[in-house]
Every structure is written in structure tokens, then in C-alpha cells.
Amino acid sequence: MIVMLVRHVLPVLAGLLLSQAAFAIPASIDSTHVTVDFDPDTFTFGIDYYDWGWTNYLDPNSVGYSASTNGVTLDFGSQISLFDYAINESDPLLPVHAFFDAGFSFTAKPGQKIVGYTIDFIGSYNTEYPGGVGMGVDGVGWSSYSSGGGSFVQQLQYNDPIAPALRGSAEAQGSIDWTEVQVGTEIVQVGTDWQEDPFCVGQPDCPLIEVPIYGEVPVYMWQADLGGADLYLQRISFNAITTPVPEPTTTALLLAGGGLVGWARRRKARAGEPRS
């Protein structure tokens, strides 16, 4: 019985270990002038729903990773879809907040060197005043929209050969804008005037009395414009900025050529000197 159990359990355990090992293997992407190495199992993606007090984490292996122009593109599909609307005047005004933390190692191919990076956010958005969306990378920059809608490609640039961590966030938030509007009119006292007492008007020594003056004035109240915002972050493209560098053989030839020219000039100068 024990032997049979071992025969059944060992293959299952081996399969589980192999599957875990397969997920743990770092990936490498070959792009135009660089190779990019990364391990999705170390990445973190998620969405904070502050209004509801909970967080939804995304499986890093559900994100698509492919070669871009000179780096890697992360494809989230429809997983990062953020919606936030102010529902009433007492709305706490907290955004729906997506976050990401992923490390990529860029290596320039022979003949190239890395001088910087670009990070492109690709997706679409829509806003209803007063609402807005934004996205950015820590230590690199932030970009936002506070009106309109449509597709977008927002690029951030990082001028350093060492790749920054792709660590940042995106968010959508509906806000509230208070406006004072006229809702009608009312008759109120607007001043006073001194007039003869109506009981003795026209009589000698009729005293003056203070009487109110009434007028029609507008009535105002504060009304709230409730805003909203939608953000669909479909892809992030992380690319290296590269520039050509001389190959080692080319550098050697240039140095050798410079040496030959110098030697020829020195020989010519010595040939022109008078002999003693």
C-alpha cells in the first residue's frame, strides 16, 4: 500500500516542482539594440479601490511581455481599467489607484551604448468635469489629463544610462466643483426712508418717521458639479535610448592610423633638418 502511494505521490510532487521552476525562470527579450532580462515572479501589479477599502492584485504572469522598438512592452489587456465618479456632495474624493513595480535589466549590444530611457503609457481615457486621470513613474515624471477624452500615448524620458525601476502608478478620480447659482428672487428690506407719519400727512408739525424700503433681490445657493473619470491603461513600453560606439577593431585601426601619420610627420621633419 505504501509503495503504491509513493508511486502515485512522487510524480505529482515532481510535476509541481517542475511547474514552479518553470515559472521562476527569468525571461530575456532580444530587441533592436539591447537585450532585456527580467523575472515576472518578482513583479507587483494591482489596483487600490480606496472608496471600498480593498486591493485587487494582478498576476504578473497574466501580463504580456514582448519586444518593443528598443526594449520591452507590457500588455495589460483590459486588466487596468479604472473608473471613479463623485456620487454625492459628501463623496470622500479618493481616486481609483493602479500601481506597478517591475525591474528590467537592459544590456546594450556590441557597437551600442545606452544613454537614457523612454517610458510610454498607451491607452484611452474619458473625463466628465471635474474629473481627471494621471500616470507616472517614481523619479521620472507624471502626466495627466483633466478634460476631454480619447486615445493617448504619453512619453516620459529618463536621461541616465542606468535603467530606473518601472515603479509608479496610474489613477482616475472624479471630483466636486461647487458653483453659486441663482435659484429665484425674494422681497426683502433694502433700506429705510424718513416720511411723514401717515396719520398726519399734510398737517402742520407732522412728525417724520423711519419706514422700511423693500425690493426684489436674487436668491443664490451652492450647487455641486459631480465629476467622473475613466482610464484604460493598455500597455507600457519601456525603451532604451542608444547611440553607436566604435567597435574595438575600428578604434584600434584609428589609433594605428594616427600613429602612422605622426611617425610620417616626424620623419619628414627630420629629413628637412640640416646635417652637421
Q: Is the pLDDT of residue 22 over 80?
A: no
Query: Is 230 in contact with 85 (CB distance < 8 Å)?
Result: no
Domain ranges of the chain: 24-175+227-249, 180-222
252-270 per-residue burial string, b: 16 or more CB within 10 A, e: under 16: eeeeeeeeeeeeeeeeeee
pLDDT tens column, 79-113: 999 999 998 877 788 999 999 999 999 999 999 99
pLDDT of residue 251: 47
Q: Is the pLDDT of residue 226 over 60?
A: yes
pLDDT of residue 197: 87
Q: Is the pLDDT of residue 23 over 50?
A: no
Query: Is 29 in contact with 64 (CB distance < 8 Å)?
Result: no
Residues whose CB is less than 8 angstroms from the CB of residue 179 and which lie 6 or more positions away in sequence, other chains included: 222, 223, 224, 225
Least confident residue range of 42-56, 198-212, 241-255: 241-255
Q: What is the mean pLDDT of residues 220-225?
A: 90
* Predicted TM-score of the model (pTM): 0.72
Q: Is the pLDDT of residue 78 over 60?
A: yes
- In single-letter form, the type of residue at position 23 comes to F
pLDDT tens column, 180-200: 999 999 999 999 999 988 889
∠ Cα 172 176 181 (to 5°): 150
Query: Is 176 in contact with 89 (CB distance < 8 Å)?
Result: yes
Q: Is the pLDDT of residue 212 over 80?
A: yes
167: exposed, middle or buried (C-beta count within 10 Å: 0-12, 13-18, 19+)?
middle
CA-based nearest residue to 165, from 26, 42, 70: 42
pLDDT tens column, 100-146: 999 999 999 999 999 999 999 999 999 999 999 999 999 999 999 99
